[in-house]
Amino acid sequence: MEVGIELDKLDMWKVKEEETHEAWLELYEPDGEYKASVRFDGCVHFHIGEDYIHICDLDGIILRLQALKAEALKHFGKDWPD
């Protein structure tokens, strides 16, 4: 399924070296809105502002979000959101 990811956006995350260690990877986006804490066991705390979701099936969430986007595009048209 085509999701429209621009390759230059794949390097948007920066590692927070001072808070990263062997079992935990801390990442942030320079604009400050998104942060992520990635654990060795595959679980992720994905922060959006002050809120976060705990994800242990990252591929499953990505798949569901891609399917959600596909349904919205079918409903609203290819220019959604504009």
30-50 pLDDT, tens digit each? 988 999 999 999 999 999 999
Residue 34 lies in a domain: yes
Q: Which helix (H) or strand (E) holds 61?
A: helix 58-76
Residue 37 lies in a domain: yes
Residue 82 lies in a domain: no
Residue 63 lies in a domain: yes
Q: b/e string for 60-82 if b means 16 or more Cβ within 10 A? A: eeeeeeeeeeeeeeeeeeeeeee
Residue 39 lies in a domain: yes
- Give the mean pLDDT of 53-67: 96
Cα 23 from Cα 40, distance rounded (Å): 5
Structural contact between residues 33 and 49, judged by C-beta atoms closer than 8 angstroms: yes
Residue 21 lies in a domain: yes
Number of domains in the chain: 1
Residue 18 lies in a domain: yes
Whether 5 shows a pLDDT value over 70: the answer reads no
Question: Domain span at residue 42?
Answer: 7-76
